[in-house]
């Protein structure tokens, strides 16, 4: 790998990838462990926290709001230690706006965290985050009694004006979104009564699994979750398992690089997160999942994957997209190598991620000579077994970490070097991605 003028050269791996590895801590669970510990009374002990730009945004945010953080870097690159929360006295009024960087999770969950307190906090972020939709969060919180300034604001920066007299609500969410669900439930922790969120299809359930660890009365079922307030969360011990979204890139690399066979250990096997393994199975991939235990209520275990020379296209229905939303870019690359057409139904949510991932996937696959198109909200990819990139092809990551890793696999698993613009964005979720994959070739 070499780097010049924003472009990173990615060369083919010198050998297949083989052996056992770990991936960094789960990003979704890390954010929640940090934020819930800040809300809690007492000092929570957390291990396995992902050390990435996004999670550091959450850590800086809770420090600005009065939580005490003593997390140390561990030999494996994770963060571990104590977080002393503000408990029933609530967060302090910060001196300046809270900058969430590129982290949509930090910005959206903070709105729910701040809702029950008489503070006025301005939330902002980088250029990309300022374009992402926030109305989906502010609308239900306003029903609970929170005010936002300026009124009717769709995007960051937004000032949250919380209130101690929050009303519980039963909310029918227009889309399956774990961030939306979590923001409402976190506000509901302090509302007087039961707050319920109903969803059109299942989204990640880390919040419902983790809140009871902090002593919050929570109920969860398919497509519905509720909390009973008011209650003050109590300090907890949380172990963060490996991130399945990061594991997906190593798994797909093994499937595409001839002769490869890997095991990713201690990875979260939350059913709302490993939809990508089921999609790959339907493509005929040699992949298996094995449970080895659970932390709190989060299951974890091992994912094994072996090079598969003949993959086939498949259809991914709309109700499965929420469980693979972060993996669609890399699954699209695998689909490009498969025989036949792959269809991802209703992937409109990809238009409002870190970038318009839908357009970016089509653009990148076009550089490979692969026919990919969008019809309404569906993504179609006509696979080309044996496809090869032209040497020196430049892929634009659009400063999106998932796209940066996806296009890197074209070079790593192929036979010709390519270049990726703004590859550094991998720091958002998986800073050691290239090092880990190169270590597996030795």
Q: Which of 26, 326, 396, 436 is catalytic?
A: 326
On whether 273 is known to bind a ligand per the annotation, the reply is no
Q: Is 32 annotated as a binding residue?
A: yes
Which of 281, 381, 390 has the alpha carbon at shortest distance from 332? Answer: 381
Active site residue 326: yes
Query: Starting from the edge strand earliest in sequence, which strands make up the sheet with 286-295, in order?
Result: 18-22, 261-268, 298-306, 286-295
425 among the known binding-site residues?
no
Q: Two tokens at 292?
A: 């080895």
132 labelled binding-site residue = yes
27 is in an annotated binding site: yes
Q: Quick check: 158 and 136 in contact, CB under 8 A?
A: no
Q: Would the annotation count 179 as a binding residue?
A: yes
Contact 313, 341 (CB under 8 A): yes
- d(CA 307, CA 437) in angstroms, rounded, equals 15
Cα-based distances in Å from 396 to 131, 246, 325, 334, 362: 19, 20, 20, 18, 12
CA triplet 347, 353, 357: central angle to 5 degrees? 60
> Is 357 annotated as contributing to ligand binding?
yes
Q: Which long-range contacts (CB under 8 A, 24 or more apart) does 78-81 make?
A: 78/24, 78/25, 78/47, 78/48, 78/49, 78/50, 78/51, 78/240, 79/46, 79/49, 79/50, 79/51, 79/55, 80/46, 80/47, 80/48, 80/49, 81/45, 81/46
Write out the binding residues for 3-phosphoshikimate. Answer: 27-28, 32, 177, 179, 326, 353
Write out the binding residues for phosphoenolpyruvate. Answer: 27, 104, 132, 179, 357, 402
Catalytic residues: 326
């Amino acid at each position: 790998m070499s780097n010049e003028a924003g472009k990173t050269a990615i060369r083919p791996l010198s050998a297949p990838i083989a052996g056992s590895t770990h991936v960094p801590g789960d990003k979704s669970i890390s954010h929640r462990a940090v934020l819930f510990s800040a809300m809690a009374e007492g000092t929570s002990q957390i291990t396995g926290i992902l050390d990435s730009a996004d999670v550091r945004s959450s850590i800086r945010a809770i420090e600005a709001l009065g939580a005490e953080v003593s997390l140390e870097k561990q030999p494996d690159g994770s963060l571990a230690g104590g977080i002393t929360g503000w408990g029933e006295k609530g967060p302090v009024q910060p001196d300046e706006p809270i900058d969430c960087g590129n982290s949509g999770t930090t910005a959206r969950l903070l709105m729910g965290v701040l809702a029950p307190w008489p503070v006025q906090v301005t939330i902002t972020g980088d250029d990309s985050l300022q374009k992402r939709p926030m109305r989906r969060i502010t609308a239900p919180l306003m029903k609970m009694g929170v005010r936002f300034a300026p009124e009717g604001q769709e995007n960051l920066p937004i000032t949250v004006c919380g209130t101690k007299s929050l009303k519980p609500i039963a909310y029918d969410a227009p889309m399956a979104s774990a961030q939306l669900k979590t923001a409402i439930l976190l506000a509901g922790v302090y509302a007087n009564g039961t707050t319920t969120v109903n969803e059109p299809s299942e989204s990640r359930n880390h919040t419902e699994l983790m809140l009871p660890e902090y002593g919050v009365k929570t109920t969860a079922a398919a497509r519905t979750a509720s909390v009973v307030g008011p209650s003050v969360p109590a300090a907890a011990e949380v172990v963060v398992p490996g991130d399945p979204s990061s594991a997906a890139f190593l798994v797909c690399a093994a499937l595409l690089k001839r002769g490869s066979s890997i095991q990713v250990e201690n990875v979260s096997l939350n059913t709302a997160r490993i939809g990508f393994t089921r999609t790959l199975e339907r493509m005929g991939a040699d992949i298996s999942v094995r449970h080895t235990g659970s932390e709190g209520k989060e299951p974890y275990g091992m994912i094994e994957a072996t090079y598969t020379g003949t993959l086939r296209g498949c259809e991914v229905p709309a109700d499965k997209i929420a469980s693979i939303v972060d993996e669609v870019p890399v699954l699209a690359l695998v689909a490009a190598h498969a025989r036949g057409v792959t269809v991802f139904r209703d992937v409109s949510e990809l238009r409002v991620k870190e970038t318009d991932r839908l357009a970016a996937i089509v653009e990148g696959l076009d550089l490979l000579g692969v026919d990919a198109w969008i019809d309404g909200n569906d993504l179609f990819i006509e696979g080309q077994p044996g496809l090869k990139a032209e040497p020196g092809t430049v892929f634009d990551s659009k400063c999106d970490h998932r796209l940066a890793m996806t296009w890197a696999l074209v070079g790593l698993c192929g036979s010709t070097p390519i270049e990726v613009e703004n590859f550094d964005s991998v720091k958002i979720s998986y800073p050691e991605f290239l090092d880990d994959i190169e270590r597996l070739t030795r």
